[in-house]
Structure 1
Amino acid sequence: MNCSILLIDDHALFRAGLRLMLTNALSDAEIREAASLDEALAGGRRSVAPQLILLDIQLPGLNGLDGMTLLARQWPDCPVVVLSADSSVSTERSAMERGAHSFLSKAAPAPQFLETVRTALAGQRPAPASNAAPAEQGDSASRLTARQCEVLALLCQGLSNKLIGQRLHLSENTVRGHVQAILAALGVSSRAEAAFAARTRGLVG
């Protein structure tokens, strides 16, 4: 599938995890990133129109919902999938009323996420589905110790093992061991995937 996707989210590690998942599933996809609506709109004037926009709500400056009018003005034919850590009915309704193609909780499982992306790229409307957090969310959290949760929170901020160790007064080798345990508990193979999984499952703020 040859397509261009614009991902607008202010968390770099979340974007990295999402990019990894999308490029693995859509081998010909071009993924462009922006940390804010201002950055997305400014960059869009210098590049071809995306075929799909993945839009976070909580952004610096203008938030995603309030900026949808500007996105529609610049790319009137581009569907927007709204992503949010808040999966309440009122938030979903607000997104759909503003013209979103679909709404996804950041806790949605990967197969549901990819199906929504493929549906939007195909120009189809999504089938009604619940965006409730997956059952394994609580299981992932219960497999982590309190110290591992602290390490995970700092990992999600982009800190290296050395900096995490300095922050928590641990050796770098100890931190490395915690990181490996975290990857195993979350069922992922990289720090970016761990950060993405932690945010989508609500394990970190």
Structure 2
Amino acid sequence: MKILVVDDHALFRAGLRLLLVSMGGNASIYEAATAAEATAVVAAHPDLAVCLLDLSLGPEHGLDSLKRFKAIAPDVVVVIVSAANDMATVRMCIEAGAMSFVPKSMPPETLRMALEKVLTGQIYLPEEVMHTTATVNRPSLSPRQIDVLRGLARALPTKSIARELFLSEYTVKEYISGLFEALQVHNRTEAVITASRLGLLSLSQSV
């Protein structure tokens, strides 16, 4: 597995590298200090699996870097590692396609947990986010609803979800509408955050 660490602080990149090495496995770890360097790594390694991306890359706006990265490497799982942990930032990152958000203030074990979850297709969000969402009882969802929910968690457009599940776009839209109602939310980002808090994204996929 190939992992890219993008952070403009060399010491922090070195710390992440040591942490990743300590986690075991046979991961190849690459580093980049800027969005341009990250793009070059992606071009050289099309089989890149995960990117740990800082939101503060010097003069570059982190969210713009995330959007640019997802545009050139849509299949790479992005884990945001940031000094920020406010709800607005987390929402924007998930909306832009990140699969996880790990505040730099959290212990190393948190990053380990995040990687374990995202590599199985799950969203990971910090506890701070979980506690700020409204209280919602865990709804009972059908296997197909879970499939659609997983598509939302991967930031897939309706057309892509429909193609993967061999459904019409109209049917997928109906499922999404039903998910919003069941989760008591108003948009996709809120649906993913609430579903993650309730543990719905860890349920088995339908066969």
Report the TM range for the smaller structure's normalisation: 0.5 to 0.7
Unaligned runs of 5+ in 1: 133-205
Q: CA, structure 1 residues 131+125, in 2 after alignment: closer, same or farther (shift >3 Å)?
A: closer
- Give the match for residue 116 of structure 1: 114
In 1, the alpha carbon distance for the partners of 2:24 and 2:77 equals: 17
**What SS class does the counterpart of residue 68 from structure 1 fall into?**
helix
- Give the match for residue 130 of structure 1: 128
- TM-score w.r.t. length of structure 1: 0.58
In 1, the alpha carbon distance for the partners of 2:79 and 2:125 equals: 14
**What SS class does the counterpart of residue 76 from structure 2 fall into?**
coil
- Give the match for residue 21 of structure 1: 19
Percent identical among aligned pairs is: 38
In 1, the alpha carbon distance for the partners of 2:129 and 2:20 equals: 19
In 2, the alpha carbon distance for the partners of 1:6 and 1:26 equals: 16
- Alignment check: 8 A CA contact 1:119 1:125 kept: yes
In 2, the alpha carbon distance for the partners of 1:60 and 1:42 equals: 18
Shift of 1:107: 0.8
* 2:7 is the counterpart of 1:4: no
- TM-score w.r.t. length of structure 2: 0.58
Shift of 1:131: 6.7
In 2, the alpha carbon distance for the partners of 1:92 and 1:66 equals: 14
Structure 1 vs Structure 2 CA RMSD: 2.0
Shift of 1:49: 3.0
Shift of 1:51: 0.6
Number of residue pairs matched?
130
* 2:61 is the counterpart of 1:72: no
Q: CA, structure 1 residues 11+128, in 2 after alignment: closer, same or farther (shift >3 Å)?
A: closer
Which of 97, 100, 114 lines up with 2:98 in the alignment? 100
Deviation sequence 1:75-107 (CA, Å, 0-9, x none): 111111111111112221221121111111001
In 1, the alpha carbon distance for the partners of 2:2 and 2:120 equals: 13
* 2:4 is the counterpart of 1:44: no
Deviation sequence 1:7-49 (CA, Å, 0-9, x none): 1000001010110011111331111100011111023212233
Unaligned runs of 5+ in 2: 131-207
